[in-house]
Chain A
Amino acid sequence: MARVRLDHLGKSFGATAVLDDVSLDIASGEFIAFLGPSGCGKSTLLRMIAGLETVETGQIHIGDRRVDALAPGDRGVAMVFQHYALYPHMTIFENMAFGLRNAKVPKAEIETRVADAARILEIERFLQQKPGQLSGGQRQRVAIGRAIVKKPDLFLFDEPLSNLDAALRMRTRLELAQLRRRVQATMILVTHDQVEAMTLADRIVVMSDRRIQQVGTPMEIYARPANRFVATFVGSPPMSFLDATLGEGAGGLARATLAGGAAVDTEVPLAALPAGAGWRLGLRAEAVKVVAPGAGLVDAKVEFVERLGDRTLVYLRLADGSAITAEDAGTSRAAMGDAVGLALDGPVHLFDADDRAHYGPLA
Chain B
Amino acid sequence: MSALDRAAGRNPWIDRLGWAALTLAALVMVAPLLWTVGLSLKANGELLRDTASVFRGPYTLENYGSILARPAAFRWLANSLLVSLCTTAGVLALSSLAGYGFARLKFPGRKWLFALVLFGLAVPEQSVIITRHQLFSALHLHNTYPGLILPGLAAPFGVFLMTQYFKAIPVELDEAAMLDGASRRQVFWKVLLPLTLPAQATLGIFTFLSSWNDYWWPLISATRSEMFTLTVGVASSQINFAQTSGLGFLMAQAVFASAPILVVYVFFQKYIVRAVSGAAVR
Contact = CB atoms under 8 A, between A and B. Distances in A.
A87 B181 contact: no
A252 interface: no
A73 B172 contact: no
A161 interface: no
Main secondary structure of the interface of A (DSSP, over half): loop
Contacts of A98: 177, 180, 182, 190
Contacts of A88: 195
B144 interface: no
Contacts of B173: 85, 87
A1 interface: no
B107 to A, nearest CB: 16
A353 B177 CA distance: 49
Given A81-B176, A85-B175, A73 B181 contact: yes
B186 A102 contact: yes
Interface string A325-349: 0000000000000000000000000
Size range of the chain A interface in the assembly? 20 to 34
Interface string A86-104: 1111000000001100110
Contacts of A87: 173, 176-177, 191
A79 B182 contact: no
Interface in B162-194: 170, 172-173, 175-182, 186, 190-191, 194
A146 B180 CA distance: 9
A79 B176 contact: yes
Contact of B182 (A73, A77, A150): A73
Is the interface on chain B under 10, 10 to 19, 20 to 34, or 35 or more residues? 10 to 19
A83 B175 contact: no
Nearest to A50: B179
A99 B181 contact: yes
A52 B178 contact: yes
A52 B179 CA distance: 8
Contacts of A50: 175, 179
Interface in A135-192: 146, 150
B180 A83 contact: no
A88 B191 CA distance: 9
A321 B36 CA distance: 91
A81 B175 contact: yes
A79 B190 CA distance: 19
Contacts of B175: 50, 52, 72, 79, 81, 85
A53 to B, nearest CB: 10
A74 interface: yes
Nearest to B173: A85
B195 to A, nearest CB: 6
A77 B179 contact: yes
Contacts of B180: 73, 98-99, 102, 146, 150
A117 interface: no
Contacts of A74: 181
Nearest to A103: B181
A221 interface: no
A72 B184 CA distance: 11
Contact of B179 (A83, A86, A89, A99): A99
User: Which one of A50, A52, A74, A103 has the greatest number of beta carbons of chain B within 10 Å?
Assistant: A52
Contact of B172 (A71, A81, A89): A81
B67 to A, nearest CB: 44
B179 A78 contact: yes
Interface in B37-56: none
Contacts of A85: 170, 172-173, 175-176
Of A50, A71, A83, A87, which is in contact with the most chain B CB atoms at under 10 Å from its CB? A87
A180 B7 CA distance: 61
Nearest to B186: A102
A89 B194 contact: yes
A71 B182 CA distance: 10
Contacts of B178: 51-52, 71-73
A89 B182 contact: no
Interface string B129-140: 000000000000
A52 B173 CA distance: 12
Nearest to B190: A98
A72 B182 CA distance: 9
Which of B170, B178, B181 has most chain A Cβ within 10 Å?
B181
A99 B183 CA distance: 11
Interface of A: 50-52, 71-74, 77-79, 81-83, 85-89, 98-99, 102-103, 146, 150
Interface pairs A-B: 6 shortest CB-CB: A73-B181, A99-B180, A85-B172, A102-B181, A85-B176, A72-B178
Given A77-B179, A150-B180, 6 more contacts: A85-B172, A85-B176, A98-B177, A98-B190, A99-B180, A103-B181
15 contacts: A50-B175, A72-B175, A72-B179, A73-B179, A73-B180, A74-B181, A77-B179, A79-B175, A81-B175, A82-B172, A85-B175, A86-B176, A88-B195, A99-B179, A102-B180
